[in-house]
Amino acid sequence: MTDFIQKLLQDMPDFSHFRTIEELDTSSRELAAAYPHLVTLSTVGHSTDGHPILMLRIGNGQHRALFVGCPHPNEPIGALSLEYLSKKLCEDTALLEQMDYTFYIIKEIDVDGCRLNEGWYGGPFSPDRYIRSYYRPSMLEQVEWTFPYAHKTFSFSEPIPETVAFMRAIDEAKPHFLNSMHSSDQTGTFYYVSTPLPDALCQQIIKLTHDHQLPLMIGEPEAPFMPPIQDGFYQLPELSAMYDYYESILPTGEDPAKAILMGGSSRDYAGARYHTFCLVSELSLFTDPRMEDKSETTHSYKEAMLDIAKLEGEQIAFLSKQYQSAQAFITVPTRFQRSVEDFLIGMEESRSHHVKLAESDAALSRFATVAEMFDLRLRTLWSSLCCCSMLIRMLDAQPENITLSEIRADSEKWLDQGLQELLSFFNWSMRPLRELCGVQLGSALMIMEFLRQTHESTATH
């Protein structure tokens, strides 16, 4: 790690809470007013509900970097990281000149979704408080997964307004480096990269992660077409990899395009247009020592997957019954309803995947590690509880109705019991916000410095 990156991280203040949309917007406007020679503030678009999406342009370096916070609104670490970074770049012009980058910064891209998570942004922080105020958009309302894309029989061409703003930012910046800033609420920390990095750099980032007492994710990958490169690092593929995966497992003649319920990603758009290096940083919000425990258990991985699939089936059955019972009485459409529908589809896909994998992969007869067992159970509990919480919020948005009140009471009881089970299982802790932002910014800046040096080295030969 270079001295200037180390200094930037050391100078980071303590944070007590995540910022609201109003706080972030006000801060950006004040920064542009205070440093007119360094900062340009623009509106790159408007949200679905009409809120302006602001972008800061800072400096005039030879290289270009685009940072985008809150592509998922339940993941606000990036916005806080960018709140600090934008101010630091203006206050320390020597640092800005040394880095030789022009910075394009969108602190929060899904502003409407962020508002629906602000119930937990102010702390105190805990898994149960987070889940009770949780909102995550349905796939077709997610900024990160609604970019235009075409591959073989698949075509998507209906980006949401927030994604259109993201596209404008990419087209304006033409970035050498793009960081879509995420976090993971129930796994170890990990990094998606569009191109593999040198092992020495990966080890430096792993050291940074561990130095801030964050575990790496070493459980099951998020998707079978996003393979691990090494511990903590995964390939960030084009959407075509998902298509090709479905093509390989679906019966002959079945169209893979019908299985893809989303569009392309920022990696697809920026990579195809500008050969951008793309980083998706997934920082652990809540951690548990078992996330990184590679010691063997006495349970086979196959049996663990089948047990989890059975639990998933029970969760899906309850939540589907609650939702279907309420459907006829829903008169006010909400984002929560669309998210619940999406979660139920995703949970069934996960259950089916676990069954198929357990039945087809002989290698899973081995003993599972502690991390693998923990990861399977925590992800399953977490998804069902988040779905139930959004179901309750969907019901709360409806006019008073006796049937809906009964469904809500049953759902609330199920959520309370599930949270008790979660908290008794999850030996959770949360690092200070300063530490989380430090890892997120430090990893990005280390990669940016590597890209800058590589580009300059190539240019001189």
User: Which residues does the annotation mark as catalytic?
Assistant: 282
Give the CA dihedral 58, 74, 263, 220, nearest 10 degrees.
Answer: 110
- Sign of the four-CA dihedral 108, 221, 336, 269: positive
- C-alpha 312/C-alpha 332 separation (Å) is 29
- Give CA angle at 42 (38, 43), nearest 5°: 160
71 cis-preceded (ω within 30 degrees of 0): no
Cβ atoms 389, 136 nearer than 8 A: no
Query: Own/partner pairs for 397-405, CB < 8 Å, 24+ apart?
Result: 397/332, 397/334, 397/336, 398/329, 398/330, 398/331, 398/332, 399/331, 399/332, 401/329, 403/325, 403/326, 403/329, 404/326, 404/329
Enter the tokens of residue 387: 């779905």
Show the beta-strand stretches assigned E in 195-255: 228-230, 233-235
- C-alpha 184/C-alpha 289 separation (Å) is 15
Give the CA dihedral 296, 297, 300, 303, nearest 10 degrees.
Answer: -140
Helix axis angle for 370-396 and 402-425, nearest 10°, is 160
